[in-house]
Amino acid sequence: MTLRALRVTLPWTFRRRFAALPFRRPWSPRHLDLPRPLPKVGAEVEDKDEEEQVVRISEITPNQVRELLPPVLRGPGVQDLFAEVKRPHLWLQHDDQDFLGLQDVGRFVKLTREDLLEQLPEGGCGELFRDLTLIPSRTRDVGLMVRKVTAELIEQLAELQEHTDSRNRKCIPKAGFLLDGHKGTGKSQVLNLLAMWARKNGWLVVLEPCPGRYSREIAEIKRSNNGVYIQSEFAQQFLEAMSLANRLMLEEIPLDRRSYGSRSIDGEDLKVTRRLYEPLIQKTVDTEVEAEGLGGVEELKRIASYRRQVRIPSMVDVMPDPQNVPTLPVGPSSSVRDGLGPKTEVWEIVEFGLENPEYAVQAVAETFVQLQRQRTHPVLVVVDAWNECFPVSEYVSIRYDNTRFNGYIPAYHLSMPRALHRWDGHRFQRGLKLCATSWQRSNRRDYRPELLGVQAHQIRTVRNFTQQEFANYVMYLRLMKVLHNFPAEDLEYFYMLTQGNGFQARKVLSTLY
């Protein structure tokens, strides 16, 4: 309110008093009469005119704080209470790594090399092991940064792990999540941390870090009647990698006999494979009807008879009734399992695929079907570079000449990318899918996930580093001795130069420093 407005609103007597008030400066803590620090014992009293001592908080040492405590708290037994936390803004402590929250965004989870090999036996997603090669030490602990998306997904997975339906049956009512973002934002590192967290918390994790290798690496392929190219060698590699960390859980999942044998040797649905023989059966019956003059009833009987005679190669012919009777120990503890009889497990399908390469592709498909039906363990299917399951592969075939594929076989016509390319997380009764995109080899402008059944609320976008995350990332590189003599005053300049992109930051900083 201005002085002119006060003159209008206030009475005349108040205006005179208000005009006589002196002008006061803004208040500050320096106007308080604070006590000065006491002189040391034996020292001379300083003159009042001498300049006051200035005590800065940054100059206070822990020993000075400890001297202010009572004598009871100065003993040797309480030294651990004052132990300094080394860079609490950068590292998560080992005791807090299982409980992540939004307050931990930007900090690093400290991991040993043994933890990486134990929790990620299939291999790390993205360029994790390229980051490890930049570190000079081969024994030092490494770290993975906690991003905002990581904390949010961990919170949702923790809630879904023990979710039950109206019948009190364990289930997961979500199809999954798709991580999207520009190249170098850290989508693959989010998958690595989520996969490790899930395995430590009792999830059965099926991890595929690089599905694009099935379409780029050359191996023997065979075409089936469905038009799918069977990759037996790659299927065995996938089963072997999956069994390294999940064998104990697969042995605990009972086999669903109703769905066992529902896939053919190329991994496709058995009903779809049988339909391929319908035109041949119909043509044969029509020829017999014209030659023998059969009626309508006899024609239907002939069609049904020919359908039963169709034999499709399957692992059911070799292993029709898989059984595994576990060896029970002799003693009082053996009575716990007495009377249960033969126990059939999902692990037997995986083991059969490892021993018989001609049925490895079917074993992969049968394993996924069993994981969709079971409710014993929560299942998380993690696929990095999911969009690489759709472009053309390095394989050529004359069948694709004069088509939009220009003679190359599409990746989703190969058996292994075909087993991972569907957005079928809703088929899992107690599981979901977690996929991420990769734009290292393809262009993002042709990307339309809605055509694959991905809904908008299932997409999570991973952004570039914030300034705090970028500062912690640079500090982490310096601690790992990847960077040398990095000027701290240029931190904002390089953040502006790289826009907080992790791939560009690693490329620029490792080249210059």
Alpha carbon dihedral 313, 318, 321, 326, in 10-degree steps, equals -140
CA distance 439 to 256: 39
pLDDT band at 130 (very low <50, low <70, confident <90, very high): confident
Q: What is the pLDDT of residue 250?
A: 95
- Least Cα distance to 437 among 416, 452, 424, 425 occurs for 452
Specify the pLDDT at position 94. 53
Residue 19 has pLDDT above 50, yes or no: no
DSSP 398-422: GGGTTSTTTTEEEGGGBHHHHHHSS
pLDDT band for position 342 (cuts 50, 70, 90): very low
In 3-state terms, what secondary structure has residue 453?
coil
pTM value is 0.78
**pLDDT for 335:** 32
Confidence of residue 82 (pLDDT cuts 50, 70, 90): very low
Lowest mean pLDDT among 68-77, 169-178, 449-458: 68-77
pLDDT category, 323, cuts 50, 70, 90? low
Compute the distance between CA of residue 253 and CA of residue 371 in angstroms, rounded to an integer. Answer: 8
Which residues face 379 on adjacent strands? 204, 431
CB burial string 454-465: b at 16+ within 10 A, e below: beeebebebebb
Going by their DSSP bridges, the two strands 176-180 and 431-436 should be labelled as parallel
Tokens 């941390």 belong to residue: 193
**Residue 341 — pLDDT band, cuts 50, 70, 90?**
very low
Confidence of residue 42 (pLDDT cuts 50, 70, 90): low
The answer to whether 363 touches 315, Cβ cutoff 8 Å, is yes
Q: Is 499 helix (H, G, I), strand (E, B) or coil?
A: coil
Statement: residue 190 has pLDDT above 80? yes
Residues in the chain: 513
Residue 376 has pLDDT above 90, yes or no: yes
For 255-298, how does the pLDDT look when each residue is reduced to its tens digit (9 = 90+)?
999 999 999 999 999 999 999 999 999 999 999 888 888 888 89
Contact 109, 146 (CB under 8 A): yes
pLDDT of 26 reads 52
Percent of the chain scored above 70 by pLDDT? Answer: 78
Q: What is the spatial distance between Cα 173 and Cα 165, in angstroms, rounded to a whole number?
A: 9
